[in-house]
Amino acid sequence: YQGKRGAEDIVVFAGGAAGHPHQWLKVQAELRHALERDELVLWYQPKVGLPGAGINGVEALVRWQHPERGLLPPCEFLPAAEHSGLIAPLTEWVLRRALIDQAGWTATGQDWTLSVNVSARNLDAPGFVGYVTALLAETGARPDRLMLEVTETALAGDADNAVRAVKELGALGVGISVDDFGTGYTSLSHLRGLPISEIKIDRAFVADVDADPQSQAIVRSVIELAHGLGSRVTAEGVETVEIHRWLVDAGCDEAQGYLYGRPVPWPQVAVEPIAEPIT
Ligand code: C2E
Ligand code: CA
Ligand code: CA
Ligand code: CA
């Protein structure tokens, strides 16, 4: 399938704040080759259950093993993919690779759910749900072990196609997670009636939640809201034991962050034991 807009709008985009048009076109051309040559890799970050901090699942995070520039983070190439038709084949590659990896860890006895990031454009494209359906059938993966992370802005406004896609994916049994929650300034009413299994609180609110009363108020109300909607709530970007403890006390269901584990290739996924601070 293809995104709604084509490669032509890359020039328009590149003329704005993003820098030199030839840079964007270069990244786009190289990325096309990268997909053909299998230069992308997936690393996985553990998602832990609270309070125990055992691994419930992992989130796939894409990187590009660039032949000259080394291992590139997603911020170096996702914008170019988003603003061309390449986000469609990129997400297809990620989903396929991730489901193959999941079969690998399932074979070693790990029952981790798999979370995959999906862009607004993917949800908007007509063939996306069909692609996921066919891929699940082909790989034999269980829909309820797959979670797709979408941002709240992807579901806001008149995103009719995205809303329909999310409902269809939910009906398949695939989990839907609302990523970066709290950063989108969208009305909560947009989430009503959608099959949301998880809300992920953005790192911006988690980073100082053990110390800042406003972040505390926001995180508490997101937890209450998520539970009220029947969703689980995950805090991202947890870096300290103090924040971990605060989240446990507040009733947060799951957490992710450098405290527990950084993204790594799946055979290396493990969680650090949480060291108790000296009091
Ligand atoms: P995200 O989905 O919000 O993913 C979390 C990002 O925060 C990851 O960065 C992760 O490495 C980082 N992170 C995790 N724990 C901590 C922590 O404790 N502290 C700090 N400072 N950072 C932490 P990464 O891998 O660079 O990914 C950045 C973004 O790129 C992701 O944000 C996601 O929006 C996007 N992305 C990554 N992989 C994919 C993909 O396969 N498809 C799509 N469409 N987007 C992706
Ligand atoms: Ca995510
Ligand atoms: Ca996030
Ligand atoms: Ca984020």
pLDDT exceeding 70 applies to what percent of the chain? 90
Ligand 1 and 41: CB distance under 6 A: no
Has residue 120 got a pLDDT over 50? Answer: yes
pLDDT of residue 279: 59
- Buried b / exposed e over 129-168, threshold 16 CB at 10 Å, is bebbeeebeebebebebbbbbbbbbbbbeebeebbebbeb
Ligand 1 and 263: CB distance under 6 A: yes
The residue whose CA has the least distance to atom 28 of ligand 1 is 74
| Comparison of pLDDT for 28 and 186, the residue scoring more | 28
Q: Is the ipTM of this complex over 0.85?
A: yes
- Ligand 1 atom at minimum distance from 82 CA: 44
pLDDT exceeding 90 applies to what percent of the chain? 75
pLDDT of residue 215: 95
- Ligand 1 atom at minimum distance from 116 CA: 41
* Distance between CA atoms of residues 59 and 2, nearest Å: 25
Has residue 276 got a pLDDT over 80? Answer: no
Residues 58-77, mean pLDDT to the nearest whole number: 95
Q: What is the pTM of this model?
A: 0.92
pLDDT of residue 188: 66
Ligand 1 and 113: CB distance under 6 A: no
